[in-house]
Homo-oligomer: A and B are copies of this chain.
Amino acid sequence: MSNSSASDARHHVVIVGGGFGGLYAAKALGQTDAKITLIDKRNFHLFQPLLYQVATGTVSPADISSPLRLVLSNQANTQVLLDEVTDIHPDSQTVSLKDGELHYDSLIVATGVSHHYFGNDHWQPYAPGLKTVEDALDIRRRIFVAFEAAEKESDPAKRQAWLTFVIIGGGPTGVELAGAIAEIANSALQKDFRSIDTTQTQIILVEGLDRVLPPYPTDLSAKAKDALVRLGVTVETESLVTQVEADQVEVRQGEGSKTIPTRTVLWAAGVKASSLGTVLHERAGAQLDRAGRVMVEPDLSIANHPNIFVIGDLAHFAHQGDRPLPGIAPVAMQQGQYMAKLLKGRLAGQANPPAFSYFDLGKLAVIGQNSAVVDLGFMKLSGFVAWLIWVFAHIYYLIEFDNKLIVMIQWGWNYFTRGRGARLITGESVLPLIRDASKSTKGLAEKVG
């Protein structure tokens, strides 16, 4: 390959994945003597914490995406490679790409996680998850198609199934989706239809544990639930989904179970590690946890391979606190920055820095306009002030790479107009989906999926 010159004597850091972990590592290594190669199969970094806003029609994909080449264009030592790593060879210190191979001196694997249906992969067509831009556009399409189909459906029971949205998983993503769909139904679309009353929409949030936002303090979980209920969301805790079909879901609650007729199910329940975790297990003997995440050493390397590191959602870091660190953006960012510090030290011939330690700035979840919950550790907040903190925290990180002030302006605009400007239904023709609403129950999942 033209970009891996044998005559280049610089230390070569290969970073796999341009998410928060990989990109922060690449940025922090920009002004070093090392040669950096960032590999991603997409040409952009995605600000995943706001992906639910694409899925619910508030902002466009480009508003929360930063071209990797643009972010790194001023780093002369950094090359971006649009490619995918398929294998890792610790002995020869090379990675296999779909298009060739590449030698590394240090390797940082930061490829994250994808959805996990707990052995029920056949649910996927009926219950899409939210990890990629394409996922978000699929969900956006399903949400707005459902209202169109309800408008055309004359059978009351079938119409109500189109107006019923089930969100599986009561973590931050599930809570955010449920709140946003409630606002769409009760506010944005309220005056837009002639045959249906969108305020009759049912939004059901299903969570297996006894409260929403399980990692948060119990009082914040309660406040989040109250805010959801005020928006009209039905919160079903201690409820396990046992079946997902095109037109219904089955939920077990204690001894009993019930069937919810619905045409729109969204998955916010489980994640599994990306396949490079398994590669590291097979090639380098890395230990994996039950979700396939890679157990890392205190310095984020894997055992017996001091020059291979795993950071971000793919890493299982068990050296701080009682539980592994959560798979959230701030952990990945700090791990990326730690990597740069460690590698700079090594290049300067210094000893490793102290073990990685996550500095918890707080937990945030947003429930809707004007409402969020925030746990800053020393202080817990909910309601409008929490929402303002959420807004500014996200803007702060969003504009870091790419100055996406547009999003803030869009939010400000939406705040006063309660609009959902980005609710266009794109992709293939939507008519077969809503036309056969009353005839076929399989149409939506097959055609949209």
Contacting residues, chain B, for A193 (C-beta < 8 A): 69
Is A122 engaged at the interface, CB distance under 8 Å to the other chain? no
Let me know if B83 and A43 touch, CB within 8 A. no
Could you tell me which residues of chain A, from 390 to 423, have a CB within 8 Å of some CB in chain B?
402-406, 409-410, 413, 417, 419-423
Is A385 engaged at the interface, CB distance under 8 Å to the other chain? no
Instruction: Flag A79-109 by CB within 8 Å of B: 1 or 0 each.
Output: 1101110000000000000110000000000
Complex Cα spacing A60 to B136, Å: 15
Is A388 engaged at the interface, CB distance under 8 Å to the other chain? no
Let me know if A99 and B192 touch, CB within 8 A. no
Is A195 engaged at the interface, CB distance under 8 Å to the other chain? yes
State how many angstroms separate the Cβ of A58 from the closest Cβ of chain B: 10
Let me know if B402 and A69 touch, CB within 8 A. no
Let me know if A43 and B424 touch, CB within 8 A. yes
A60-B61, A69-B193 known; A82 and B434 CB under 8 Å? yes
Q: Quickly give the copy total for this chain.
A: 2
Let me know if A422 and B84 touch, CB within 8 A. no
Q: Interface residues of A, CB < 8 Å — how many?
A: 62
Let me know if B3 and A194 touch, CB within 8 A. yes
Let me know if B435 and A99 touch, CB within 8 A. yes
Could you tell me which residues of chain A, from 117 to 146, have a CB within 8 Å of some CB in chain B?
133-134, 137, 144
Is A425 engaged at the interface, CB distance under 8 Å to the other chain? yes
A148-B43, A435-B99 known; A421 and B404 CB under 8 Å? yes
Complex Cα spacing A265 to B152, Å: 41
Contacting residues, chain B, for A144 (C-beta < 8 A): 43
Complex Cα spacing A187 to B141, Å: 35
State how many angstroms separate the Cβ of A425 from the closest Cβ of chain B: 5
Is A431 engaged at the interface, CB distance under 8 Å to the other chain? yes
Is A73 engaged at the interface, CB distance under 8 Å to the other chain? yes
Is A256 engaged at the interface, CB distance under 8 Å to the other chain? no
Complex Cα spacing A261 to B404, Å: 38
Is A10 engaged at the interface, CB distance under 8 Å to the other chain? no
Instruction: Flag A412-447 by CB within 8 Å of B: 1 or 0 each.
Output: 010001011111111101110011000000000000
Give the nearest-CB partner of A134 in chain B.
Answer: B426
Let me know if A421 and B402 touch, CB within 8 A. yes
State how many angstroms separate the Cβ of A143 from the closest Cβ of chain B: 12
Is A259 engaged at the interface, CB distance under 8 Å to the other chain? no
Residue in B42, B43, B152, B195 whose beta carbon sits within 8 Å of that of A99 in the complex: B152
Complex Cα spacing A35 to B327, Å: 54
Is A154 engaged at the interface, CB distance under 8 Å to the other chain? yes
Is A350 engaged at the interface, CB distance under 8 Å to the other chain? no
Let me know if B194 and A99 touch, CB within 8 A. no
Is A70 engaged at the interface, CB distance under 8 Å to the other chain? yes
Give the nearest-CB partner of A192 in chain B.
Answer: B69
A62-B421, A406-B413 known; A430 and B69 CB under 8 Å? no
Is A380 engaged at the interface, CB distance under 8 Å to the other chain? no
A-B contact pairs, 8 of them (CB 8 A): A44-B424, A57-B62, A62-B421, A69-B189, A82-B152, A83-B431, A134-B427, A406-B409
Task: Name the 5 nearest CB pairs between A and B, nearest first.
Answer: A60-B60, A62-B422, A69-B192, A73-B191, A44-B424
